[in-house]
Amino acid sequence: MAWLLTLPWGQLLINGIALGSLYALTAFGIVLIYKTTDVLTFAQGETAMFSAFIAYTLLTNLGLPFVPAFVLTLVFAMGLGALVERVLIRRAAQGAHLNAIIVTIGLALVLVGGAGAVWGYELKPFPDPITGPPLRLGNLVLTQLGALILAITILLMLLLFAFFRYSLTGIAMRAVAQNRVAAQLMGIPVDRINALGWGVGTALGAVTGVLIAPTNSLFPGMMGDVAIKAFAGAVLGGITSLPGAVLGGIILGVIDSVAGFQAPELRTTIAFSILVLVLVVRPAGLLGRKEIKKV
Amino acid sequence: MIKGVAAVLVLLLPWLLGLFPGAPVSYILYLVCLALIYAIVALGLNLLIGFAGQVSLGHAGFLAIGAYASALLTQRLGWPFILALPTAGLVTGAVGFLLGLPALRLSGPYLALVTLGFGLAIPQLALWRGDLTGGAGGLRELPPAALLGLELRSEQTFYYLALAVISLLTLLAYNLVNSHTGRAFVAIRDSEIAAQAMGVDLVRYKTMVFAVSAFYAGIAGSLYAHLIRFISPESFTVFLSVEFLTMIVVGGLGSVPGSIVGALFLTALPELFSRLPLLKDFKNLFIVVFGAILILTMLYFPRGLAGAWSGRRWRFPTRVVKQPSEAT
């Protein structure tokens, strides 16, 4: 176990948290969608990938600066999420639990194939939103992109926290997540809240997509690995807990960064072994509540 | 009568194909063999998902284990194929049993994720243990399937082998679902709590269905390794697992013949897309079509082709009424 001490822990932690905050955003979207509509989405990575391609088109073909392109992409992602909920999920969610999962897998395939047909399958360089010398603190290094990712994540988390805590819509969303029928009886438009949940969840994924594209390049399969890690993060934190998603995502990022340093070819395997261990010991995840089924 | 004619046609297929001048007989038979192999996986997967209601998004991982086990046994240890085939099935079944253990405590989304992770991890492990598995280059020049000293090198002979294996496994599947074990699976699918209350041993049946499902995939993996005679981690991607899922969804969840029909249909589909004159122009959209089929089947024919065929009940027969999420 001596090798554990020789690792550059500080640097690995910083890298892991920067990467993990991207997982956290996507995981947050997955949990939000799961909590509002009771549907586990497997298309989160692919909607994010598609949004990143939209951002790419806005940036390079239309020559927009980064900020307006980013905002327009988020608007697009929200629309896409709400549309998916309205057209596909609302119908599929009436059947068995598996039906909706399968529909989201189908959606993921459609988006991958669609992006491949429109933009091609080869890797595309994504313009850097920010360039400049990396920030240094002692012998620790953080790229400007990493700093931007951290700043955006923290900002979004604060915004979401305020939204769920203080706004009427946010409280309505929490109410729907807690008890759909009671929420409906209280006059909350549950359908609209569901669409909003999908919209916001998809937009959060899109943030990840746009911010990870400069390092990972742009191609239809770019989000596969990211989405799976985010997914694992969401489950690790507890699929019913929003703070859990953030925590789980960041933990996954750190694990990924340490495992990537030690045994790069086993990154996914290590992440999943830890996940299975946690689930066996604590099936509801770190911060999740155990679901009690009433008969 | 119809069944008899169909059986004769199936048996005479290699000869019938020869009647069409210029038809690429061995290529078509190769595809049919591949489709039959996938159909074996689909049969096992349908037992797991369609009958017992346990999701798996990692069946390509089981296929890989069966393929590598059989390849290593025959190539490195010189086992005859006829012994390697059932051994590959049993080894994979044992792994399925092990994967079933954490599955006991997990349901729905958690199980989907764990099986997905399993499907991702297996090719990575194969890459990692390159000394054993040949790494990214894979294992080449695997010995062909052989029975009683007779090498089944041609597609024609392999076709009969695959046909025999799938017939046996179909028979097994029918017997299983019509036995009290099969009814226990269905009871678990419809309500674990009710099943438990009726005295169904969850531990026993859940691990059993995982083991049986993996056994099917392991047998298929062995056949795969000796048909293509080359395997690499690339052959067993998560996309393949999704394809297996699509096969049983399109064929019909909870239907034994549906699994086979779905596998045949979805193996033929990419070929049609790359060859038929009109569809050829839309080759790029193949994955889109694949996804669209999955979505449309789920939304409009939740019981798949099998449900459309029987035409009586078009809805997937589990609880349609969703329980409101409970306040905690």
Is A99 in CB contact (< 8 Å) with chain B?
yes
Is A50 in CB contact (< 8 Å) with chain B?
no
Q: Is the pLDDT of residue A220 over 50?
A: yes
pTM of the entire predicted model? 0.86
The encoded tokens of residue A248 equal: 């789980």
With 0-12 CB in 10 A as exposed, 13-18 as middle and 19+ as buried, what is B170?
middle
pLDDT (0 to 100) of residue A293: 56
Taking contacts as CB-CB distances below 8 angstroms, the residues of chain A near B194 are 295
Taking contacts as CB-CB distances below 8 angstroms, the residues of chain A near B287 are 109-110, 112-113, 116
Taking contacts as CB-CB distances below 8 angstroms, the residues of chain B near A177 are 325
Q: Is the pLDDT of residue B328 over 50?
A: no
Average pLDDT estimate for B75-99: 92
Q: Which of A93, A99, A113 is closest, CB to CB, to B291?
A: A113
Lowest average pLDDT, out of A91-105, B175-189, B270-284, goes to B270-284
Residue with the bigger pLDDT between B141 and A295: it is: B141
Average pLDDT estimate for A153-179: 91
The encoded tokens of residue B307 equal: 């449900």
With 0-12 CB in 10 A as exposed, 13-18 as middle and 19+ as buried, what is B243?
buried
Q: Which of A273, A280, A291 is closest, CB to CB, to B105?
A: A280
Q: How close A238 comes to chain B (CA, Å)?
A: 10
HEC assignment per residue over chain B: CHHHHHHHHHHCHHHHHHCCCCCCHHHHHHHHHHHHHHHHHHHHHHHHHHHCCCCCCCHHHHHHHHHHHHHHHHHCCCCCHHHHHHHHHHHHHHHHHHHHHHHCCCCHHHHHHHHHHHHHHHHHHHHHCHHHHCHHHCECCCCCCEECCEECCCHHHHHHHHHHHHHHHHHHHHHHHCCHHHHHHHHHHHCHHHHHHCCCCHHHHHHHHHHHHHHHHHHHHHHHHHHHCCECHHHCCHHHHHHHHHHHHHHCCCCHHHHHHHHHHHHHHHHHHHHCCCHHHHHHHHHHHHHHHHHHHHHHCCCHHHHHHHCCCCCCCCCCCCCCCCCC
- Rounded to whole angstroms, how far apart are CA atoms B219 and B93? 9
pLDDT band at B305 (very low <50, low <70, confident <90, very high): confident
Average pLDDT estimate for A147-163: 91
Taking contacts as CB-CB distances below 8 angstroms, the residues of chain B near A33 are none
Q: Is the pLDDT of residue A192 over 50?
A: yes
Q: Is the pLDDT of residue B212 over 60?
A: yes
Is A96 in CB contact (< 8 Å) with chain B?
yes
φ/ψ region of A285 (left if φ > 0, alpha if ψ in -120 to 50, else beta) reads: left
Is B194 in CB contact (< 8 Å) with chain A?
yes
Q: Is the pLDDT of residue B152 over 70?
A: yes
- Rounded to whole angstroms, how far apart are CA atoms A198 and A205? 11
pLDDT (0 to 100) of residue B312: 52
CB B160 within 8 A of CB B15: no
Across the interface, whether the CB atoms of A178 and B290 are under 8 A apart is answered: no
Q: What is the mean pLDDT of chain B?
A: 85
| pLDDT > 90 in chain B, percent | 43
- Rounded to whole angstroms, how far apart are CA atoms A253 and A12? 10
| pLDDT > 70 in chain B, percent | 91
The encoded tokens of residue A294 equal: 């009433």
Is B52 in CB contact (< 8 Å) with chain A?
no
Pick among B48, B198, B298 to test the A interface (most A CBs inside 10 A): B298
Average pLDDT estimate for A20-44: 91
Is B116 in CB contact (< 8 Å) with chain A?
yes
Q: Is the pLDDT of residue A5 over 80?
A: no
Average pLDDT estimate for A59-82: 94
Q: Is the pLDDT of residue B322 over 50?
A: no
pLDDT (0 to 100) of residue A281: 82
Helix axes B25-46, B238-251, angle to 10 degrees: 80
Across the interface, whether the CB atoms of A109 and B242 are under 8 A apart is answered: yes
Average pLDDT estimate for A207-222: 90
Taking contacts as CB-CB distances below 8 angstroms, the residues of chain A near B284 are 113, 116-117
pLDDT (0 to 100) of residue B138: 80
Q: What is the mean pLDDT of chain A?
A: 87
Average pLDDT estimate for B199-211: 92
pLDDT band at A155 (very low <50, low <70, confident <90, very high): very high
Q: How close A41 comes to chain B (CA, Å)?
A: 9
Q: Is the pLDDT of residue B327 over 70?
A: no
Across the interface, whether the CB atoms of B315 and A107 are under 8 A apart is answered: no
| Closest among A42, A41, A85, A49 to A197, alpha carbons compared | A85
Lowest average pLDDT, out of A105-114, A168-177, A286-295, B262-271, goes to A286-295
Per DSSP, the residues of A138-155 read: TTEEE-HHHHHHHHHHHH
SS3 A51: helix
Q: Is the pLDDT of residue A290 over 70?
A: no
- What is the tens place of the pLDDT at every residue in B248-302? 999 999 899 999 999 999 998 888 877 776 666 666 678 888 899 999 998 888 8
pLDDT (0 to 100) of residue B52: 92
The encoded tokens of residue A188 equal: 């909350």
The encoded tokens of residue B232 equal: 């690499």
CB A249 within 8 A of CB A21: yes
Helix axes A224-237, A44-56, angle to 10 degrees: 130
pLDDT (0 to 100) of residue B282: 66
- Chain B: residue whose CA lies nearest to A224: B238
Lowest average pLDDT, out of A189-198, B105-114, B203-212, goes to B105-114
* Element at A40 (helix H, strand E): none
Q: How many CB pairs under 8 A join A and B?
A: 162
Average pLDDT estimate for B126-155: 79
Average pLDDT estimate for B99-116: 81
Strand partners for B139: B231
